[in-house]
Amino acid sequence: MKPLADMALDVLQTADGRAKTALSHKYAAEWRAAREGGDLPEIGTANPPMHPARPDKPELLSPRDVPHRKPGSELGRIALLHAVAHIELNAVDLHWDIIARFSHISLPAGFYDDWVSAADDESKHFNLLCDCLEELGSHYGALPAHAGMWRAAEDTAEDFMGRLAVVPMVLEARGLDVTPGMIKVFKNAKLDSAVSALETIYAEEVSHVAYGSKWFNFMCGRENSDPKEVFHALVRRYFHGKLKPPFNEEKRADAGLPPDFYWPLTEDL
C-alpha cells in the first residue's frame, strides 16, 4: 500500500470528476482495510499542487458572473444540483489536500481515519448529484460554476488551524444551515432521487463538521490555548465576510460547535 500522502496526491492530480471520486473510494477502502487489520499505514509526505486537477468543464466564473436562476423552475433545480455537485467535488479535493499539505504535522492515526472517511463521503455525494443531474438530462460540466471555491484552500495553505477553522467549521457548517431548505425545494418538485441524495448529504455532513471541531479542539489542547478565542481570530483572518444567520443550532451542536463560537462572528469587530 502506498503512503497516504501519495494516495492523496494521486486523487488531487486526477482531473475527471467520476475518475477522481472512483480513485478516492478505492484509496479510502484500502486505508480502512489496513486499519481494520490493525495496521498503521505510512502517512509519508507530499507536496500537493496549489490547485488540484479539474475537468475542462464546468467553465469557472467569478461568483457575480454565474447566472442566478429561480429554484422554482426545472432549470433552476438543475442549476442548484449543479452548484452542489461543484461544492462536493471541491470538498473531495479539500479533504485529500488537508491530508497531503499538512502531512508534516504529527497527528494521531484517528485524524486520518476521519479525513479519509470524509473524502470518501464527498466522493459519494458528488456521484449521487451527478446521477440526479443525468436523470434530469443534464450533467456536471453543463453549466458554469463558481471559481472562488478553492479560495479557502489557498488562503489557509500554510495554516493548518486556519484550514480547520474555515473549511469544516465555517463552510461545511454552513451546509448544515442551508441543506434543509434545499431538500424542501426538491420535495415540492417531487424529485425523489434529489431528495434522497440531499438527505444522505445532510446526515453525513454533521460528522465532517464534528471532525473539524474535534481536531481543532485537540490542537488547541496540545498548545494549551483557548479554542473559542483561537477560532474567532482565525476566522476573522482567513474568512472573507461575516457569518450569516439563521444557523442550524441543533445540528451544529451535534457537531460540537457551540453558539458562542459562531454568533460573535456575525458582527463587525
177 or 205, CB closer to Fe ion?
205
CB of 227 to Fe ion, least distance (A): 21
Give the C-alpha separation, 211 to 241, whole Å.
24
> Applying CB under 5 A, which part among 81-89, 178-186, 225-233, 257-265 lies near Fe ion?
81-89
Site membership for Fe ion, residue 172 (CB under 5 A)? yes
Q: Which helix or strand (DSSP H or E) is residue 60 part of?
A: strand 60-61
- In this complex, which beta carbon is closest to Fe ion, that of residue 114 or of residue 122? 122
Shortest gap between Cβ of 166 and Fe ion (angstroms)? 13
Our finding on whether 95 is near Fe ion (CB under 5 A) is no
Q: How far is the CB of 1 from Fe ion (least distance, A)?
A: 25
Backbone angles phi, psi at 137, to 5 degrees: 80, 15
Task: Answer positive or negative: Cα dihedral of 172, 170, 173, 73.
Answer: negative
Q: Specify the residue, 91 or 170, whose C-beta has the smaller distance to Fe ion.
A: 91
Q: Are 129 and 85 spatial neighbours (Cβ–Cβ below 8 Å)? A: yes
Question: What is the closest distance, in whole angstroms, from the C-beta atom of residue 114 to Fe ion in the complex?
Answer: 11
Q: How far is the CB of 173 from Fe ion (least distance, A)?
A: 10
Smallest distance from Fe ion to CB 91, Å = 5
- Kindly list the distances between the CA atom of residue 76 and the CA atoms of 146, 182, 184, 204, 234, in Å, as whole numbers in the listed order: 16, 12, 14, 25, 35
Q: Near Fe ion by CB under 5 A, which window of 29-37, 39-47, 82-90, 157-165?
A: 82-90
Q: Does residue 125 touch Fe ion according to CB under 5 A?
A: yes
Can you tell me whether residue 233 is helix, strand or coil?
Answer: helix
Per CB under 5 A, which region of 71-79, 91-99, 144-152, 251-259 contacts Fe ion?
Answer: 91-99
Within 207-246, which residues bind Fe ion (CB under 5 A)?
A: 208
Residue nearest Fe ion, CB atom distance: 208
Question: CA 95 to CA 116: how far, in whole Å?
Answer: 7
Find all residues with CB under 8 Å of 209, minimum gap 6, and list them.
168, 169, 172, 173, 176, 251, 252, 255, 256, 257
Interface of this chain with Fe ion, residues 13 to 72, rule: CB under 5 A: none
Residue 122 in the binding site for Fe ion (CB under 5 A)? yes
Whether 70 and 172 have beta carbons less than 8 Å apart is answered as: no
Q: Is residue 95 within 8 Å of residue 115, measured between CB atoms?
A: yes
Q: Under the rule (CB under 5 A), what is the footprint of Fe ion?
A: 88, 91, 122, 125, 172, 205, 208
